[in-house]
Amino acid sequence: MTGNNNKSSSKRSNKDTMIVLGIETSCDETAASLVRSDGTILSNIISSQFDTHRPYGGVVPELAARSHVENIDTIVAKAMTAGNIKYSELKAIASTGGPGLIGGVIVGATFGKALALANNLPFLAINHLEGHALTPRLTHKVQFPYLLLLVSGGHCQLLTVKGVGNYDLLGSTIDDAVGEAFDKTAKLLGLGFPGGPALEKAALDGDKYKFNFPKPLAGRTGCDFSFSGLKTAVRYTVDSFKSITEKDQADLAASFQETVVSILKDRCANAISMFQEKNGKNKVLVVAGGVAANTQIRNGLNTLAYDHDMDFVAPPMNLCTDNAAMIAWAGVEKLKLGYRTDLDFVPRPRWPLSEL
């Protein structure tokens, strides 16, 4: 009887401690991470390209892809060394397969396939958005289903996360993503690159009620977003100045940021009503993606969740922006369910969660 218990315990231990290598190259971060199936992050290495793209005020796809080619072998090697893990100890290789800048996605997916083939390991092509969507299960052990606001440079969506690969889209942007609006506004204000963090920093010294910007779709039914009109209003306001002082920059940044928070809360409130109608109360509102690193957005959504009797979860700042730990964790989740990706997988510049 004791022997049977030991054998059972050993099996559980092996399953609970399987390790996946994640690789992320969808934009301008070359990243690699080792994550254990109990949620332990053994290593998480990120090489950013801010200096490469700063002179252009935004990410240049060709330069990003070239940088991935130059750095990926070194970054993966650093992740393996930092985690003190050999390839023989891995259970799978997971790489971002899209969506993203296709040159970078190809680099990461190809490198991941090569490692999997060379080490006789399963390969998993991970949807970048699903990586963000599943991060709260890595960091906070959130149970399905939960309501997700996914906000990044290229995406703005509200989803019900029902399970791995199982997502109900409640609403999305009909024009620009919120992260793009942050970056373009920061560029208009001359705040530098990367725009989102620069604008948030400038807003700290500003009057958030100084400028009354429009809130597209606010007050309407549904869960869709629109940021194009807001972005245009900021540009017109900036053009009305003969010269902009640092105080003007701060006030514009703060007013823009406050408007975005208001829009997100309005749209999320509608989504909460839809979500709770189907799933009951006392569930979880999650925000994920690069824009989720914005403190004012996190605070606003935390208040909204409290007002609707929901828990609020936001991953740690370093796991909001693009990283490979989320890719490795998505790989863990899929591996547990028996998923594998054929090596003839073709990287995808567009890959909606609805197609998983």
Higher pLDDT, 194 or 172: 172
> Which residue in 125, 214, 229 sits closest to 174, CA to CA?
229
Q: What is the DSSP string of 75-134?
A: HHHHHHHHHT--GGGEEEEEEEEESS-HHHHHHHHHHHHHHHHHTT--EEEEEHHHHHHH
Is the separation of the CB atoms in 167 and 133 below 8 Å? yes
Kindly report, residue by residue over 206-232, the tens digit of the pLDDT.
999 999 999 999 999 999 999 999 999
Q: How many CB atoms lie within 10 A of CB 243?
A: 5
Q: Residue 1's pLDDT band (boundaries 50, 70, 90)?
A: very low
The contacts of residue 49 (CB under 8 Å, 6+ apart) are 28, 29, 30, 59, 63, 64, 67
pLDDT of 73 above 80? yes
Residues 207, 208, 210: CA angle, nearest 5 degrees: 65
Residues 258-292 have pLDDT tens digits of: 999 999 999 999 999 999 999 988 799 999 999 99
Which strands make up the sheet holding 156-163, listed edge to edge? 166-172, 156-163, 146-151, 284-288, 311-313
Please state the length of the chain: 356
Q: What is the pLDDT of residues 326-348, one digit of tens each?
A: 999 999 999 999 999 999 999 99
> Which has the closest alpha carbon to 137: 162, 105, 112, 156?
162
What is the CA angle 46-51-52, rounded to 5? 95
Between CA 247 and CA 229 the distance in angstroms is 24
Phi/psi for 4 (5° steps) reads -60, -40
Residue with tokens 């990367």: 194
Distance CA 116, CA 76 (A): 13
Q: Are 179 and 153 in contact (CB under 8 A)?
A: yes
pTM of the model: 0.93
69 alpha-carbon distance from chain centroid: 22
Tens digits of residue pLDDT in 47-71: 988 788 888 888 899 999 999 999 9
Taking a C-beta distance cutoff of 8 angstroms, is the pair 308, 272 a contact? yes
End-to-end CA distance of the chain, in Å?
44
- Mean predicted confidence (pLDDT) in 315-322: 96
**pLDDT reported for residue 58:** 83
| Nearest CA among 97, 96, 98, 90 for reference residue 118 | 90
What domains can be seen in the chain, in order of their start residue? Answer: 10-134+320-355 (3.30.420.40), 144-314 (3.30.420.40)
Mean pLDDT, the chain, rounded, equals: 93
